[in-house]
Structure 1
Amino acid sequence: MTQLTINEVKRHAGLARLAMTDAEAEMFAGQLDDIIGFANVLQEVDTDQIAPMTHPLPLYNVLRKDIPTDALDREEMLESVKEHEAGQIKVPTII
Structure 2
Amino acid sequence: MSLTANDVKKIAHLARLGIAEQDVEHYAKDLSGVLELMTRMDQLNTDGVTPMAHPLDQIQRLREDAVTEIDQRDHFQTIAPQTEAGLYLVPKVID
- TM-score normalised by length of structure 1: 0.53
The aligned runs of 1:1-95 (5 Å cut-off) are 2-56=1-55, 57-60=57-60, 62-64=62-64, 66=66
Fraction of identical pairs, as percent: 28
Deviation of 1:60 after TM superposition, in Å, equals 4.7
Paired with 1:67 and 1:26, the residues of 2 have a C-alpha distance of 55
Q: 1:17 to 1:49 in 2, by over 3 A?
A: same
Look up the SS of the partner of 2:45 in the other structure.
Answer: coil
Please list the CA deviations of residues 26-69 of structure 1 after superposition, one character each: whole Å capped at 9, or x if unmatched: 1211111111111111112221111112223343554547489x
Q: 1:21 to 1:52 in 2, by over 3 A?
A: same
Q: 1:66 to 1:31 in 2, by over 3 A?
A: closer
Q: 1:7 to 1:60 in 2, by over 3 A?
A: same
> Is contact 1:9-1:25 (8 Å) kept?
yes
Superposition RMSD in Å: 2.6
Paired with 1:16 and 1:67, the residues of 2 have a C-alpha distance of 42
Which ranges of 4 or more aligned residues in structure 1 deviate by more than 6 Å? none
Deviation of 1:18 after TM superposition, in Å, equals 2.1
Aligned length: 67
Deviation of 1:21 after TM superposition, in Å, equals 3.2
Structure 1 gaps of 5+ residues are: 69-95
